[in-house]
Amino acid sequence: MESVDETKPAGTFEEAVRRSDAIRADLPQNPGRYRVLTGDRPTGPLHVGHYFGSLKNRVDLQALGVETFVVIADYQVLTDRDSVDAIADNVRGLVLDYLAVGLDPDQHKTNIFCHSHVPALNQLLVPFLTLVGMGELERNPTVKEEISAAGLTHVNAAMYTYPVHQAADILFCKGNVVPVGRDQLPHLELTRKIARRFNTRFCKKGPSVFREPDALLSAGTKILGLDGSQKMSKSRGNAIMLRATPDETAKLVKQAKTDAERQITYDPEGRPEVANLLLLIGLCTGEAPLAIAERLGDGCGGALKKALTEALNETLRPIRERRAKLEADSDAIVKRVLTQGSAAANQIGDVTLREMRRAMNMDYGL
């Protein structure tokens, strides 16, 4: 690969945190300066970890009046599984979950669309792949972790290139803010490099096509599953789905791991399981975990679980009610949301693709 003049030094974690803090402070004053791009892979229903980790933030950003694009990364599902049987159902479920938590394509500028329905987005991938080296892809720590976590014996090429696809997700709509957790920072750094390299290589004579997006880092509270030892996730069987019924929630919480001590204390190091349940109650009620522990006193695991069940069911009640209402006419609603979202994404993607072709000397006067 030709050596690209990197005009700025490689990003450090501290710089990313500094920029993220600056954006968080500026967002309420100047929502019009920002366009958020975020997304999920349609691999199953959303759970409480998703809600407190990202969905709630999206709804808050929406309330500030920030324009948001949400990509349902259906092509990305193909990176680590062969079957597509569940995709359509998962996409439908995801759209309903989004609407249930309060994302609102009608009243707000939130556009929900799938990879597979926005051709221009995917076309960005081809020139972008020429801007990264094989070594860079092979070294990506998040990809390496995912490969080992999924226990893949055959790794397809898209698994290595999906971070470049993610760059296309962000850059096709000129998103400048990407709400992410720490583990996604390497991907965002790659997106910044791709934007910079494209501008450096192809925009010598004209205006830059891309701006470098920034991460909006989440608070960093790690939400563990009901086993108290690993991140909450559907595949680990330790999650509470947003769409679960109150009874199912109670049953799941009853199975949560605690310990034999009567006294409830908040001690994330020494008693991670109990601390995680306290944290979950706090996320629902807004109380500090320490205060909840004091309130519950020597009520042992039973009181803790009862408090958590009540807190979760109370917090999720309006979400579940909204979802039940949507369910009545779900096919038409999902179709409308995706049609609207794809139209917005295609419109902006076609403009970006045209700018890109012009920069690459490929518009041929058409």
Residue ranges in contact with ligand TRP by CB under 6 A: 37-41, 71, 73, 76, 166, 169-170, 178
Find the shortest distance in angstroms from Cβ 180 to ligand TRP.
Answer: 6
Q: How many CA atoms lie within 13 A of 111 on its CB side?
A: 26
Find the shortest distance in angstroms from Cβ 178 to ligand TRP.
Answer: 5
Residue with Cβ nearer ligand TRP (293 or 338): 338
Strand partners, 179: 216
Residue with Cβ nearer ligand TRP (284 or 345): 345
Residue with Cβ nearer ligand TRP (74 or 273): 74
Find the shortest distance in angstroms from Cβ 225 to ligand TRP.
Answer: 17
Contacts of 344 (CB under 8 A, 6+ apart): 69, 111, 113
For residue 227, the tally of other CB atoms under 10 A from its CB is 16
Residue with Cβ nearer ligand TRP (40 or 355): 40
Burial of 322-348, coded b for 16+ CB within 10 Å and e otherwise, reads ebeebeeebeebbeebbebbbebbbeb
Find the shortest distance in angstroms from Cβ 350 to ligand TRP.
Answer: 20
Residue with Cβ nearer ligand TRP (177 or 293): 177
Find the shortest distance in angstroms from Cβ 37 to ligand TRP.
Answer: 6
* Alpha carbons 114 and 40: distance in angstroms, whole number: 10
Residue with Cβ nearer ligand TRP (16 or 37): 37
Taking phi first (over 0 means left), then psi (-120 to 50 degrees means alpha), and beta for anything else, what does residue 114 get? beta
Find the shortest distance in angstroms from Cβ 294 to ligand TRP.
Answer: 37
Find the shortest distance in angstroms from Cβ 40 to ligand TRP.
Answer: 5
With beta carbons less than 8 A apart as the criterion, state whether 166 and 128 touch.
Answer: no
* Alpha carbons 206 and 3: distance in angstroms, whole number: 21
Read off the tokens for 264.
């409830």
Smallest CA-to-CA distance from 55 within 236, 253, 305, 316 is with 316
Q: Are strands 110-114 and 67-72 parallel, antiparallel or unpaired?
A: parallel
CA-CA-CA-CA torsion sign (125, 131, 134, 136) = negative
Residue with Cβ nearer ligand TRP (71 or 274): 71
Residue with Cβ nearer ligand TRP (198 or 249): 198
Find the shortest distance in angstroms from Cβ 175 to ligand TRP.
Answer: 8
Residue with Cβ nearer ligand TRP (69 or 256): 69
* Cα 122 off chain centre by: 19
Residue with Cβ nearer ligand TRP (38 or 90): 38
DSSP class per residue in 188-255: HHHHHHHHHHHHHHH-SSS--S----EEEE------B-TTSSSB--GGGT---BTT--HHHHHHHHHT
Find the shortest distance in angstroms from Cβ 185 to ligand TRP.
Answer: 11
Read off the tokens for 39.
């997304």
Find the shortest distance in angstroms from Cβ 169 to ligand TRP.
Answer: 4
* Alpha carbons 42 and 267: distance in angstroms, whole number: 35
